């Protein structure tokens, strides 16, 4: 499974990318707005900080404007993936951009039917939102299972990018199902790393070692 960071905070991205665990980044207009900076500057900076794909989302809702914004965003860096909403206009723009060789991430997916359409439209990624479904008493991880089953039936190349990840179990459940990517806030990636028993065990080892008065170097 590939790990993407869902953030526009360049400091967080650089710190976690240094661990060698970050395969890409996803952003959206809300995350960009939190930075208080110009979108083009933020996306360019993120693209320079990571080698993998960086999703940059259009703000237009009409087909022609989506194409124009998508082409503009794609010019910012070689690893920009244009992010479009999973609407009729978004699907149409996805087909056109994909035919131009531009990778597209269709976002705000909440049903297997939408995911099927995303694959048929040529999306490189589809982003089902598991946390937001859980919030309204629907089975977010169940949606991932349904999408993967459908994609396997037809050998679609569209990657399932699990989004709206709220906690480590979302990541583990999605990984068990074989999802291609999980995009998560920095706090969730850190939670995957940390475990109280690891901390406790390390403290014990170091305490015992200190008693010996030895050094390795």
pLDDT, one tens digit per residue, over 10-19 is 999 999 999 9
- Model-level pTM? 0.95
Residue ranges in the chain assigned as alpha helix (H)? 10-17, 29-35, 39-49, 63-74, 88-99, 112-120, 130-135, 140-154, 168-177, 186-193, 196-212
Q: Which of 2, 34, 83, 211 is catalytic?
A: 83
pLDDT, tens only, 1-46 = 999 999 999 999 999 999 999 999 999 999 999 999 999 999 999 9
As assigned by CATH, the class of the 2-212 domain is alpha beta
* Catalytic residue flag (residue 176): no
What's the pLDDT band for 205 if we cut at 50, 70, 90? very high
The domain spans of the chain are 2-212
């Amino acid at each position: 499974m590939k790990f993407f960071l869902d953030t526009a905070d360049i400091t967080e991205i650089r710190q976690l990318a240094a661990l060698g665990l970050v395969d890409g980044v996803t952003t959206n207009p809300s995350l960009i707005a939190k930075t208080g900076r110009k979108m083009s500057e933020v996306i360019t900076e993120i693209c320079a900080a990571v080698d993998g794909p960086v999703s940059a989302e259009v703000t237009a809702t009409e087909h022609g404007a989506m194409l124009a914004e998508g082409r503009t965003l794609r010019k910012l860096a070689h690893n920009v993936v244009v992010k479009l909403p999973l609407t009729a206009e978004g699907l149409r723009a996805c087909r056109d951009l994909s035919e131009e060789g531009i990778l597209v991430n269709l976002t705000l997916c909440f049903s297997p039917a939408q995911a099927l359409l995303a694959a048929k439209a040529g999306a490189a990624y589809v982003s089902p939102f598991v946390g937001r479904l859980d919030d309204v008493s629907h089975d977010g991880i169940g949606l991932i299972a349904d999408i993967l089953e459908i994609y396997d039936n037809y050998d679609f190349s569209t990657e399932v990018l699990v989004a709206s990840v709220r906690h480590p179990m979302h990541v583990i459940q999605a990984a068990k199902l074989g999802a291609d990517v999980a995009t998560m806030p920095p706090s969730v990636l850190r939670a995957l790393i940390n475990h109280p028993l690891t901390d406790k065990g390390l403290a014990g080892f170091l305490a015992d070692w200190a008693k010996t008065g030895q050094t390795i170097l």
